[in-house]
Amino acid sequence: MRKRIFITLVGAIVLTLLGCSGDNDNVATVDEEQEAMEARIHDELKTEGIMKELCQIDTLDNGKLSYTPRIGKALESATPTVYYTIGYDLEFARQTFNGIIAALNEDKEKNLDVDDVRQGNIHLTFSQSTASGEIARIAVDCPDLKDVLTEIVFVTKDRWPENGGHSPFKMLDIYKYKNNYYVCVRTSESASGIMLSLDINISEEDKDKFEEYDHWQGKFWLLKNPAKAEAYTHLIYIMKSFPKEYELMLARMDAAGGPKIWSDLFNSKAYIIFDSNYSYTHGLWCFYNCYYIDLNRIMIHKITQGKWEMTFHSSHSEHKQVPNRGISSKQFNFDSNFTKSYEWECIYKGT
Protein backbone atom coordinates (compact mmCIF):
# COMPACT_ATOMS: atom_id res chain seq x y z
CA MET A 1 0.00 0.00 0.00
CA ARG A 2 2.82 2.45 0.93
CA LYS A 3 4.54 1.72 -2.40
CA ARG A 4 1.33 2.44 -4.32
CA ILE A 5 0.81 5.73 -2.44
CA PHE A 6 4.42 6.76 -3.11
CA ILE A 7 4.08 6.08 -6.83
CA THR A 8 0.86 8.06 -6.94
CA LEU A 9 2.48 11.01 -5.19
CA VAL A 10 5.47 10.96 -7.55
CA GLY A 11 3.15 10.87 -10.54
CA ALA A 12 1.19 13.82 -9.19
CA ILE A 13 4.34 15.86 -8.64
CA VAL A 14 5.62 15.13 -12.15
CA LEU A 15 2.26 16.06 -13.64
CA THR A 16 2.37 19.36 -11.76
CA LEU A 17 5.90 20.10 -12.94
CA LEU A 18 4.97 19.37 -16.54
CA GLY A 19 1.89 21.54 -16.38
CA CYS A 20 -0.39 18.62 -17.34
CA SER A 21 -3.05 18.86 -14.67
CA GLY A 22 -6.66 18.82 -15.81
CA ASP A 23 -7.15 22.39 -14.55
CA ASN A 24 -4.30 23.88 -16.58
CA ASP A 25 -5.27 24.86 -20.13
CA ASN A 26 -1.92 26.37 -20.97
CA VAL A 27 0.52 24.69 -23.34
CA ALA A 28 2.39 21.96 -21.49
CA THR A 29 6.12 22.27 -21.00
CA VAL A 30 7.71 19.30 -22.71
CA ASP A 31 11.28 18.11 -22.99
CA GLU A 32 13.30 17.85 -26.19
CA GLU A 33 12.38 14.19 -26.72
CA GLN A 34 8.67 14.99 -26.55
CA GLU A 35 9.11 17.92 -28.93
CA ALA A 36 11.01 15.76 -31.41
CA MET A 37 8.31 13.06 -31.25
CA GLU A 38 5.51 15.56 -31.84
CA ALA A 39 7.41 17.26 -34.68
CA ARG A 40 7.78 13.85 -36.35
CA ILE A 41 4.06 13.14 -35.89
CA HIS A 42 3.07 16.49 -37.40
CA ASP A 43 5.35 15.91 -40.37
CA GLU A 44 3.97 12.40 -41.02
CA LEU A 45 0.38 13.61 -40.80
CA LYS A 46 1.04 16.31 -43.40
CA THR A 47 2.62 13.79 -45.76
CA GLU A 48 -0.32 11.42 -45.32
CA GLY A 49 -2.75 14.29 -45.89
CA ILE A 50 -1.23 15.07 -49.30
CA MET A 51 -1.15 11.40 -50.25
CA LYS A 52 -4.86 11.03 -49.42
CA GLU A 53 -5.72 13.91 -51.76
CA LEU A 54 -3.65 12.38 -54.56
CA CYS A 55 -4.86 8.80 -54.18
CA GLN A 56 -7.38 6.52 -52.60
CA ILE A 57 -5.37 4.31 -50.25
CA ASP A 58 -6.42 0.73 -49.56
CA THR A 59 -4.75 -1.97 -47.47
CA LEU A 60 -4.38 -5.32 -49.26
CA ASP A 61 -4.70 -8.73 -47.62
CA ASN A 62 -0.90 -9.01 -47.44
CA GLY A 63 -0.72 -5.73 -45.52
CA LYS A 64 0.70 -3.69 -48.38
CA LEU A 65 -0.85 -0.40 -49.42
CA SER A 66 -2.55 0.07 -52.79
CA TYR A 67 -2.80 3.54 -54.36
CA THR A 68 -5.46 4.56 -56.88
CA PRO A 69 -5.15 8.12 -58.30
CA ARG A 70 -8.16 10.30 -57.50
CA ILE A 71 -7.75 12.92 -60.20
CA GLY A 72 -8.03 12.23 -63.90
CA LYS A 73 -7.60 9.19 -66.09
CA ALA A 74 -4.64 7.50 -67.78
CA LEU A 75 -5.26 7.90 -71.52
CA GLU A 76 -2.01 6.75 -73.12
CA SER A 77 -0.87 3.12 -72.81
CA ALA A 78 2.73 4.25 -73.26
CA THR A 79 2.48 6.52 -70.17
CA PRO A 80 0.19 4.73 -67.67
CA THR A 81 1.33 6.90 -64.76
CA VAL A 82 0.33 10.17 -66.47
CA TYR A 83 -3.26 11.10 -65.64
CA TYR A 84 -5.29 13.57 -67.68
CA THR A 85 -8.27 15.61 -66.57
CA ILE A 86 -10.35 18.43 -68.03
CA GLY A 87 -9.08 21.64 -66.48
CA TYR A 88 -11.46 24.28 -67.90
CA ASP A 89 -9.06 27.14 -67.05
CA LEU A 90 -5.88 27.96 -65.15
CA GLU A 91 -7.77 29.00 -62.01
CA PHE A 92 -9.48 25.60 -61.90
CA ALA A 93 -6.13 23.81 -62.21
CA ARG A 94 -4.59 26.00 -59.52
CA GLN A 95 -7.49 25.32 -57.14
CA THR A 96 -7.04 21.60 -57.69
CA PHE A 97 -3.39 21.96 -56.69
CA ASN A 98 -4.39 24.00 -53.64
CA GLY A 99 -6.73 21.21 -52.59
CA ILE A 100 -3.96 18.61 -52.89
CA ILE A 101 -1.59 20.56 -50.62
CA ALA A 102 -4.25 21.64 -48.10
CA ALA A 103 -2.48 19.69 -45.34
CA LEU A 104 0.40 22.20 -45.47
CA ASN A 105 -1.74 25.31 -45.10
CA GLU A 106 -2.68 26.46 -41.59
CA ASP A 107 -4.06 29.83 -42.72
CA LYS A 108 -7.78 29.59 -43.49
CA GLU A 109 -7.79 33.14 -44.88
CA LYS A 110 -5.74 32.36 -47.99
CA ASN A 111 -4.28 29.49 -49.98
CA LEU A 112 -0.57 28.79 -50.18
CA ASP A 113 1.06 30.76 -52.99
CA VAL A 114 3.60 28.15 -54.06
CA ASP A 115 4.42 26.15 -57.19
CA ASP A 116 6.95 23.77 -55.66
CA VAL A 117 6.22 21.62 -52.59
CA ARG A 118 8.41 19.10 -50.77
CA GLN A 119 6.80 17.19 -47.93
CA GLY A 120 8.20 13.94 -46.60
CA ASN A 121 9.01 11.79 -49.63
CA ILE A 122 6.61 13.72 -51.88
CA HIS A 123 7.74 16.43 -54.31
CA LEU A 124 5.03 18.27 -56.28
CA THR A 125 5.52 20.94 -58.91
CA PHE A 126 2.73 23.02 -60.47
CA SER A 127 3.37 24.67 -63.82
CA GLN A 128 1.35 26.41 -66.51
CA SER A 129 1.56 24.50 -69.77
CA THR A 130 2.41 26.00 -73.15
CA ALA A 131 1.58 22.84 -75.13
CA SER A 132 -1.41 22.94 -77.46
CA GLY A 133 -4.63 21.87 -75.74
CA GLU A 134 -3.04 21.86 -72.29
CA ILE A 135 -3.62 24.25 -69.40
CA ALA A 136 -1.30 23.13 -66.60
CA ARG A 137 0.62 20.19 -65.18
CA ILE A 138 1.37 18.83 -61.72
CA ALA A 139 4.57 16.77 -61.60
CA VAL A 140 4.46 14.07 -58.89
CA ASP A 141 7.78 12.70 -57.63
CA CYS A 142 7.22 10.11 -54.90
CA PRO A 143 8.86 6.65 -54.52
CA ASP A 144 5.57 5.10 -53.37
CA LEU A 145 3.81 6.34 -56.52
CA LYS A 146 6.54 5.87 -59.14
CA ASP A 147 4.57 3.06 -60.81
CA VAL A 148 1.17 4.66 -60.14
CA LEU A 149 1.18 8.45 -60.65
CA THR A 150 3.93 10.73 -61.96
CA GLU A 151 1.97 13.59 -63.52
CA ILE A 152 -1.48 15.18 -63.65
CA VAL A 153 -2.20 17.03 -66.90
CA PHE A 154 -5.06 19.53 -67.20
CA VAL A 155 -6.35 19.69 -70.75
CA THR A 156 -9.00 21.76 -72.49
CA LYS A 157 -12.46 20.26 -72.96
CA ASP A 158 -12.09 20.01 -76.73
CA ARG A 159 -8.83 18.05 -76.27
CA TRP A 160 -10.66 15.27 -74.44
CA PRO A 161 -11.35 12.11 -76.50
CA GLU A 162 -14.81 11.94 -78.07
CA ASN A 163 -15.45 8.38 -76.93
CA GLY A 164 -15.76 9.26 -73.28
CA GLY A 165 -18.94 7.23 -72.91
CA HIS A 166 -22.42 7.98 -71.63
CA SER A 167 -22.83 9.44 -68.13
CA PRO A 168 -25.67 7.94 -66.04
CA PHE A 169 -25.98 11.30 -64.23
CA LYS A 170 -26.00 14.70 -65.95
CA MET A 171 -24.66 17.97 -64.59
CA LEU A 172 -26.82 19.29 -61.71
CA ASP A 173 -29.04 16.22 -61.59
CA ILE A 174 -30.59 15.86 -58.13
CA TYR A 175 -31.12 12.38 -56.73
CA LYS A 176 -32.20 11.30 -53.28
CA TYR A 177 -30.37 8.25 -51.97
CA LYS A 178 -30.67 6.82 -48.47
CA ASN A 179 -32.26 10.01 -47.12
CA ASN A 180 -29.57 12.32 -48.55
CA TYR A 181 -29.77 14.64 -51.55
CA TYR A 182 -27.00 14.30 -54.13
CA VAL A 183 -26.16 16.74 -56.94
CA CYS A 184 -24.01 15.79 -59.92
CA VAL A 185 -21.03 18.17 -60.04
CA ARG A 186 -19.02 16.17 -62.59
CA THR A 187 -20.27 13.76 -65.24
CA SER A 188 -18.41 10.56 -66.11
CA GLU A 189 -17.47 11.36 -69.70
CA SER A 190 -14.02 12.28 -68.40
CA ALA A 191 -12.72 10.06 -65.60
CA SER A 192 -15.20 9.23 -62.83
CA GLY A 193 -18.28 11.31 -62.17
CA ILE A 194 -19.03 12.90 -58.79
CA MET A 195 -22.34 13.07 -56.96
CA LEU A 196 -22.01 15.50 -54.03
CA SER A 197 -24.21 15.61 -50.92
CA LEU A 198 -23.98 18.52 -48.47
CA ASP A 199 -25.25 18.91 -44.90
CA ILE A 200 -26.02 15.21 -44.78
CA ASN A 201 -28.14 13.15 -42.42
CA ILE A 202 -25.46 11.41 -40.36
CA SER A 203 -25.95 7.82 -39.26
CA GLU A 204 -23.86 5.86 -36.76
CA GLU A 205 -22.25 4.05 -39.69
CA ASP A 206 -20.98 7.40 -40.98
CA LYS A 207 -18.99 8.10 -37.82
CA ASP A 208 -15.32 7.31 -37.33
CA LYS A 209 -15.27 7.11 -33.53
CA PHE A 210 -12.24 8.11 -31.45
CA GLU A 211 -12.84 6.37 -28.14
CA GLU A 212 -9.80 4.25 -27.26
CA TYR A 213 -7.61 7.07 -25.91
CA ASP A 214 -10.11 9.30 -24.14
CA HIS A 215 -8.25 10.40 -20.98
CA TRP A 216 -7.47 13.92 -22.19
CA GLN A 217 -9.83 14.52 -25.10
CA GLY A 218 -12.82 12.43 -24.14
CA LYS A 219 -14.77 10.51 -26.78
CA PHE A 220 -15.47 12.19 -30.13
CA TRP A 221 -16.03 11.34 -33.79
CA LEU A 222 -15.33 12.53 -37.32
CA LEU A 223 -17.15 11.74 -40.56
CA LYS A 224 -15.71 8.58 -42.16
CA ASN A 225 -15.79 9.51 -45.84
CA PRO A 226 -16.31 13.24 -46.36
CA ALA A 227 -16.31 14.79 -49.83
CA LYS A 228 -12.86 15.54 -51.19
CA ALA A 229 -11.40 18.86 -52.33
CA GLU A 230 -11.89 18.01 -56.01
CA ALA A 231 -15.69 17.84 -55.59
CA TYR A 232 -15.81 21.40 -54.26
CA THR A 233 -13.58 22.68 -57.06
CA HIS A 234 -16.14 21.38 -59.57
CA LEU A 235 -19.02 22.84 -57.54
CA ILE A 236 -17.49 26.33 -57.57
CA TYR A 237 -16.79 26.07 -61.30
CA ILE A 238 -20.47 25.24 -61.98
CA MET A 239 -21.76 28.11 -59.84
CA LYS A 240 -19.49 30.54 -61.66
CA SER A 241 -19.93 29.21 -65.19
CA PHE A 242 -23.57 28.07 -65.18
CA PRO A 243 -25.44 30.37 -62.76
CA LYS A 244 -28.83 30.10 -64.51
CA GLU A 245 -28.68 26.32 -64.57
CA TYR A 246 -27.65 26.33 -60.92
CA GLU A 247 -30.60 28.52 -59.98
CA LEU A 248 -32.98 26.10 -61.73
CA MET A 249 -31.48 23.29 -59.67
CA LEU A 250 -31.89 25.38 -56.50
CA ALA A 251 -35.57 25.95 -57.15
CA ARG A 252 -36.18 22.22 -57.38
CA MET A 253 -33.97 21.48 -54.37
CA ASP A 254 -35.94 23.97 -52.25
CA ALA A 255 -39.27 22.63 -53.49
CA ALA A 256 -38.21 19.09 -52.55
CA GLY A 257 -37.24 20.17 -49.04
CA GLY A 258 -33.53 19.57 -49.58
CA PRO A 259 -30.71 21.15 -47.53
CA LYS A 260 -30.56 24.97 -47.57
CA ILE A 261 -26.77 24.92 -47.80
CA TRP A 262 -26.93 24.74 -51.62
CA SER A 263 -28.77 28.06 -51.66
CA ASP A 264 -26.55 29.59 -48.95
CA LEU A 265 -23.44 28.85 -51.00
CA PHE A 266 -24.91 30.61 -54.02
CA ASN A 267 -26.59 33.59 -52.35
CA SER A 268 -25.06 34.22 -48.92
CA LYS A 269 -21.77 36.00 -48.26
CA ALA A 270 -21.19 34.02 -45.08
CA TYR A 271 -18.03 31.98 -44.59
CA ILE A 272 -19.04 28.33 -44.90
CA ILE A 273 -16.65 25.60 -43.77
CA PHE A 274 -16.78 21.93 -44.76
CA ASP A 275 -14.71 19.05 -43.38
CA SER A 276 -12.68 16.93 -45.78
CA ASN A 277 -9.87 14.36 -45.46
CA TYR A 278 -8.15 13.77 -42.15
CA SER A 279 -5.08 11.94 -40.91
CA TYR A 280 -4.42 10.85 -37.34
CA THR A 281 -2.30 8.83 -34.96
CA HIS A 282 -1.85 8.67 -31.19
CA GLY A 283 1.05 9.25 -28.87
CA LEU A 284 1.95 9.45 -25.19
CA TRP A 285 1.51 12.82 -23.53
CA CYS A 286 1.69 13.29 -19.76
CA PHE A 287 1.44 9.57 -18.98
CA TYR A 288 -1.63 9.02 -21.19
CA ASN A 289 -2.15 8.63 -24.92
CA CYS A 290 -3.96 11.30 -26.88
CA TYR A 291 -4.91 11.65 -30.54
CA TYR A 292 -2.96 13.82 -32.99
CA ILE A 293 -5.26 14.82 -35.85
CA ASP A 294 -4.90 16.92 -39.01
CA LEU A 295 -8.31 17.77 -40.45
CA ASN A 296 -8.41 19.23 -43.97
CA ARG A 297 -11.11 21.85 -44.44
CA ILE A 298 -12.66 23.83 -47.28
CA MET A 299 -13.92 27.36 -46.67
CA ILE A 300 -16.16 28.95 -49.31
CA HIS A 301 -17.01 32.63 -49.33
CA LYS A 302 -19.06 34.54 -51.87
CA ILE A 303 -17.24 37.81 -52.57
CA THR A 304 -19.69 39.35 -55.03
CA GLN A 305 -22.17 38.26 -57.68
CA GLY A 306 -20.63 35.48 -59.73
CA LYS A 307 -17.39 35.34 -57.76
CA TRP A 308 -16.43 32.97 -54.95
CA GLU A 309 -13.28 32.50 -52.95
CA MET A 310 -12.33 29.02 -51.80
CA THR A 311 -9.50 28.22 -49.41
CA PHE A 312 -8.09 24.83 -48.53
CA HIS A 313 -6.44 24.55 -45.15
CA SER A 314 -5.76 22.14 -42.29
CA SER A 315 -6.45 22.36 -38.56
CA HIS A 316 -4.40 20.40 -36.02
CA SER A 317 -5.72 18.96 -32.75
CA GLU A 318 -3.72 17.32 -29.98
CA HIS A 319 -3.47 16.85 -26.21
CA LYS A 320 -6.75 18.20 -24.76
CA GLN A 321 -7.98 19.64 -28.06
CA VAL A 322 -10.80 18.04 -30.04
CA PRO A 323 -11.42 18.80 -33.75
CA ASN A 324 -14.16 21.35 -34.24
CA ARG A 325 -16.36 19.78 -36.92
CA GLY A 326 -17.64 21.84 -39.83
CA ILE A 327 -20.50 20.99 -42.18
CA SER A 328 -20.62 17.32 -43.16
CA SER A 329 -20.73 16.00 -46.70
CA LYS A 330 -20.42 12.88 -48.83
CA GLN A 331 -19.45 12.14 -52.39
CA PHE A 332 -20.27 9.20 -54.60
CA ASN A 333 -18.02 8.46 -57.57
CA PHE A 334 -19.46 6.66 -60.58
CA ASP A 335 -18.41 5.58 -64.05
CA SER A 336 -20.28 5.25 -67.34
CA ASN A 337 -21.24 1.66 -66.53
CA PHE A 338 -23.01 2.52 -63.29
CA THR A 339 -26.66 1.43 -63.19
CA LYS A 340 -28.97 3.31 -60.84
CA SER A 341 -31.00 1.07 -58.53
CA TYR A 342 -34.51 1.85 -57.30
CA GLU A 343 -32.92 3.48 -54.25
CA TRP A 344 -31.80 6.40 -56.41
CA GLU A 345 -34.89 8.64 -56.58
CA CYS A 346 -34.72 11.27 -59.30
CA ILE A 347 -35.71 14.73 -58.01
CA TYR A 348 -34.52 16.89 -60.90
CA LYS A 349 -32.94 16.32 -64.32
CA GLY A 350 -30.13 18.76 -65.04
CA THR A 351 -28.34 19.47 -68.32
- Over the stretch 265-275, which tens digit does the pLDDT of each residue have? 999 999 999 99
Q: Is-above-0.85 flag for pTM? A: yes
Q: Could you give phi then psi for residue 71, rounded to 5 degrees? A: -110, 120
- Over the stretch 116-169, which tens digit does the pLDDT of each residue have? 999 999 999 999 999 999 999 999 999 999 999 999 999 998 888 765 568 899
- The H-or-E segment that residue 198 falls in is strand 193-198
Its sign, for the CA torsion 147, 149, 151, 156, is: positive
Residue ranges of the domains in the chain?
16-348
- Over the stretch 205-255, which tens digit does the pLDDT of each residue have? 999 999 999 999 999 999 999 999 999 999 999 999 999 999 999 999 999
pLDDT of residue 20: 63
Measured in whole angstroms, how far is the alpha carbon of residue 311 from the centre of its chain? 12
